[in-house]
Structure 1
Amino acid sequence: MKTFKLENEPKIETGFKTPEHYFENFSIKMMEQLPTDEPKVISIFQKRKTLILSVAAVLILALMIPILSPSSTNTQELDAVALENYITYQSNVNQYDLISVLETEDINNIKTGIVIEDEAIEDHLSTNSNLENLISE
């Protein structure tokens, strides 16, 4: 194999050369090429204004929901028979509890002058099989 000496061999020229005084004028040229426009400044108050507007919009929508939503409350009035049946069969309210809550005006309004004939009472007692319960009450 042939000996290779680096210093004796002809050197290949690179294809790149720097222009004269390139590094001396580099900073001046670079500063000329920078844009002179000032950066856009965003105000803090602008963000607050947007935040306040968004909160106000949410509050307005929250207040409008009950107005815009259809109400599905169907109130049904209680009739006297249903109320009487409930008190009689479903609750633990006895006659003494009702009397203690009523005022004298209410008690006087309840008293009616219905005249029941003796024959009607006898017919009812003869057909009713719970005579012992009626007597004990």
Structure 2
Amino acid sequence: MKNKELHNLKSAGFKTPDDYFDSVEEKIFSKLNTESVLDSVNTPGFKVPDNYFESLNERVLNKALSEEKPKVIPLFSKTNIIYVSSIAAAILLLFNLSIFDSKPTFDNLDIETVENYLEDESISTYEIAALFSDKQIDEDTFIDYNFNEDNIEEYLLNNVDIETLILD
């Protein structure tokens, strides 16, 4: 129900019998005055052994002082120590390996590896030229370099098809 409609209710919806609140006290007192089922019980049903409470202290002390040791589960068992030490050894081995020390340098690169990379990645000459600065590309370095005629001839024989040169 919505709160707007609460003021329109004429009845609460619950009904009590006629003269219920007038006679409720009399009914309660009559139930209290009558003999209940609990009064007719002579024994509670629980029985304490004879001299139980007199000998209780002695029995508790005897059990506490007895030589029987309770079962104790140690915190550091052999299996736990083995697990922890194996994990520590694995971590120590990981950090001692030279995996983290290997840094690639230009000294250990092969020329073939660089050539294959450039061929496979299809990098254009404009992209390669963008990597060089103006100081690195100087005409004088290329002009002043003296090529040996034997090296040029060997290069042309091994790498260039002579027929295509003749046709061009």
Coarse TM-score class (shorter-chain normalised):
0.3 to 0.5
TM-score normalised to the size of structure 2? Answer: 0.33
TM-score normalised to the size of structure 1? Answer: 0.38
